Each structure stands twice: as C-alpha cells, then as structure tokens.
Structure 1
C-alpha cells in the first residue's frame, strides 16, 4: 500500500508531469517557465536600479542645495551620469542659449526652460520604465496561456476516457494533473509580475514627481535671476 502511494506521488511530481505531457502542454510549460525566469530577472534588476536612482537624486539635491554658485556647481556636477544631473544640465544649457543674446526675452526664456527640463524629466522616466511593460504583459497574458494548457490537458483526459472506455481515476488523473500544473506555472509567472508592476510603477511615479519638483525649483531660481537682470 505504501509502495503504491509513493509511486503515485512520484508520478505526479512536477518533473514527471512535464515529461509525460504531450508536446503542446510542454511548450506551454516551457514558455511560462521562461516568462517566470525573465520576470524575476526584471524584478531584481528594477529593485537595485530604482534604489540606486533614488539615492543618486538624494545626493544630487543635497549638493545642489549646499551650492552657492550655479555655474561652479555645473562645472563640478553638470556632467554627472544621474537623472537629476541630466535634468539640471538641460536647464543650464537652455539658460545659456537663451541669455546669450541681448536683450533677453524673459517670458520666452521661462517657457523654453520649462519645456526643456520637462522633456528631460520625461526622457529619464521613459528610460527608467523600460521593460516595465514586460511585467504588465506577463501578468495579464500568463494566466490565459496557462488556461490554454489546462484546456488542452482536460481535452486529453476526455480523449483517454473515450479510448479506454473507463472513467477510472488512473485514466484521467495524468491529463488533469498536467492541466492543473500548467495553470499553476501560469499563476507562478503572473502573480509576481502583477505585484512588481504595481509596486515599481508607484516608485517610478514617485521618482518622476521628485524630478519634476527639482526642475520646478531650478526653474524658479533661474526666473529670479531673469527678474534681477543677471
């Protein structure tokens, strides 16, 4: 009795379920497994990447607030490879172009500064959110792919019933187990993808808000210089 139970358990192990599945279900399982591995790679990449971006913004803003001279700070940090530094550099570059000729068009300069720094922020967020759509795609598609494998496995079970002319559990269990296993893999890929997508979208929105606040503050500083005629 115990030997039979152990044999059944081994037959229904994940590896055995994959090996005894037909080629369609195997393709579904392999595709979902690849999607799961890809999802976790993206999740880990974003985990370290977003943490590094937030720290770099903190450091840049702290140094910016401590600086007394914008030109000196630009020479020191303007070529930095961080999101905040690139937004800052875009603003300084436009400021120099717009104030090079006299008289200075103050309203036009303000408008161009806002446009240029807004575009710089949008570009940073686009680069930061790259591949985030993959998480959304996996989260929405993987359950349906798993469901396809489930339907196919159940169809095989009904075919086995017709072929054996028996409704014995031994006849239908393999096909149903394969079907449910495909569903499980689909959920294993989809659930982390959905959770990570929502979490990282929220964090990216927070980073975008911080960059916009920095751009607005820098825009205000430059506007004061325009008003003072500097």
Structure 2
C-alpha cells in the first residue's frame, strides 16, 4: 500500500466499494445543494409575496378591484392565490339563491383551505430529500469507513510484520468516507430545519389571513342579506 497520504491519492487508491460509496455521497451532496439554493429562492419569493399582498390588502383596497388585478397576473401564488380562491367561491355562492350567509362563508373558507394546502405542499417540495440526506449520509459514510478498515486489516493480516505505515493509508482512506458523509449531511440537515421553520411561519400567516378574511366575508354576507 502506498505511503502517499494526500486526499486525492487516498480516494483514487481506495477499494471499489469505498469509491462507490464516496461517489454516492458526493452525488447526494451536489443534489442537496442544488435543492437548497432552489428552495431558498422559492421561500424568499413566498415571503416577499406575503408582505406585498398584506400591505395591499390591509391598505383598504376594494376587494373586487384587488381580485381583478390579481386574477389577471400570469403567476399567482401564495396568499394572493388563497385570496383569489376564497373570493371567487364567495362571489359564486352569493349569486346562488337560498344559501345562508354562514354557508357562503364556509364555502369560501374551504376553497381557501384547499388552496393553502396546495401552496404549503409546494413550499415543502424537496424538503423530505434534504431530511433524508441529513439523516442517512453519516451512516452511509460510516458503512464505507467500516468496509475500508475491514479491508485494511484483512490485508494487514496477510503480512508477517505489520507497521503503522502500512495500515495508516487504509484507515485514512476509509475515514474519508465518513468525512464526505458528514459534509453531505450537515448542510442538508441545517437547511431542512431552517426551511421547515420558514414554511411553518408562512403556513401560520396564511391561516391567520384566512381567519381574518373569512370574518370580513361573513360580515359582508350578513350585511347584504340584512
């Protein structure tokens, strides 16, 4: 076994199984980083959309005008989509005779609930993958380490005189698998926790808006029937 202890040489001289595990972990790391950047952009857009919509909605804008403006956009998402779904259902039910005001409000609320569920599902896209990478990457790396150390000691047992110089490269190349596993797991785990917190805050904000908007619709329904 060579005494060259550079990381590149250790990776190149590792056994096929250890190299395969390293390649798998490297692929998982690259994929998770791509998802991290993509989710970070998506969540920032959702937060900016929420702030912009709430500023417009609570500024006293006319609901019909706001709905018309939002429905004409090419890409409606987040709280804007929730508002459009609820207001559209509210207008449709109001045109139907014989429906109680409470039923109109409940119908609008259910429409907003469906829209919110879809938006939250979209925000949570890729998060399960990050959670999986964060949880299993260390174990995959540990598997490569165990296999590499086992191979090194098997080879060591075939020589009459064992020295540290002989066993060190084998153990070092095996430990690289654990290092790569941690390199893949730590960013994915941190990103998953951070993004999950952001999604939870957005979901709470959507839910609060739905409750407040439903109260407004209920008052309008009662006033119109009165």
Normalising by the residue count of structure 2, what TM-score does the alignment of the two structures yield? 0.93
How far apart are the structure 2 equivalents of 1:120 and 1:53? 14
Match of 1:123 in 2: 118
Tell me the residue number matched to 1:174. 169
Q: Which has the higher contact order (CA 8 A, sep 6+)?
A: 2
Q: State how far apart, in whole Å, the 2-side matches of 1:52 and 1:133 are.
A: 20
Indicate conservation of the 8 Å contact 2:21/2:141, yes or no: yes
1:3 corresponds to: none
Q: Tell me, yes or no, if the aligned pair for 2:138 and 2:185 is still in contact at 8 Å.
A: yes
Distance in 1 between residues matched to 2:29 and 2:160, nearest whole Å: 38
For the 8 Å contact 1:57–1:82, the answer to whether it is kept is no
Residue 18 of structure 1: aligned partner = 11
Unpaired segments ≥5 residues, structure 1 = 1-6
Once the two structures are superposed, the pairs formed by residues 1-230 of structure 1 within 5 Å of their partners are: 8=3, 11-80=4-73, 81-229=76-224
Give aligned pairs, total: 222
SS in 1 for 2:158: helix
CA RMSD in angstroms comes to 1.5
Gaps of 5+ in 2: none
* Contact 1:79-1:89 at 8 Å conserved across structures: no
SS of 1:164's partner is coil
